[in-house]
Amino acid sequence: MSRWTDEELRELVTLWPTNSALQIAERLHRQHAAICRKAMLLGLLSPDLPQTFLRQSAKAAAEAEAKTRDHGQADATRRRQRVLTLL
């Protein structure tokens, strides 16, 4: 396969938050695996995500990420409150 051009890399980074890897692959005329691999190398995708996550729609992936992020923020808030009560 050919090397990634700067334009393709910019498009991948731009499209990643709102499109699935499959949609991006079709748009860039590249294999789905190539999109996922490049996303991992660019730090857009964690290498330990299950394969089913890669096939989710962009909207579902964004919702799952937001839910995880919100849960982490709630945990951090509870920890801060606990520390404040000890002071």
pLDDT in tens, the chain (87 residues): 689 999 999 999 999 888 889 999 999 999 999 998 898 888 887 656 555 555 555 666 667 666 666 555 666 666 666 656 654
At residue 11, the pLDDT reads 93
Task: Find out whether 12 and 42 touch, Cβ atoms under 8 Å.
Answer: yes
At residue 87, the pLDDT reads 46
pTM: 0.54
**Which value, in Å, is the radius of gyration of the alpha carbons in the chain?**
17
Task: Find out whether 17 and 62 touch, Cβ atoms under 8 Å.
Answer: yes
At residue 35, the pLDDT reads 92
Q: Residue 79 in 3-state DSSP?
A: helix
Using N-to-C axis directions, what is the helix angle for 32-41 and 6-15, rounded to 10°?
A: 90
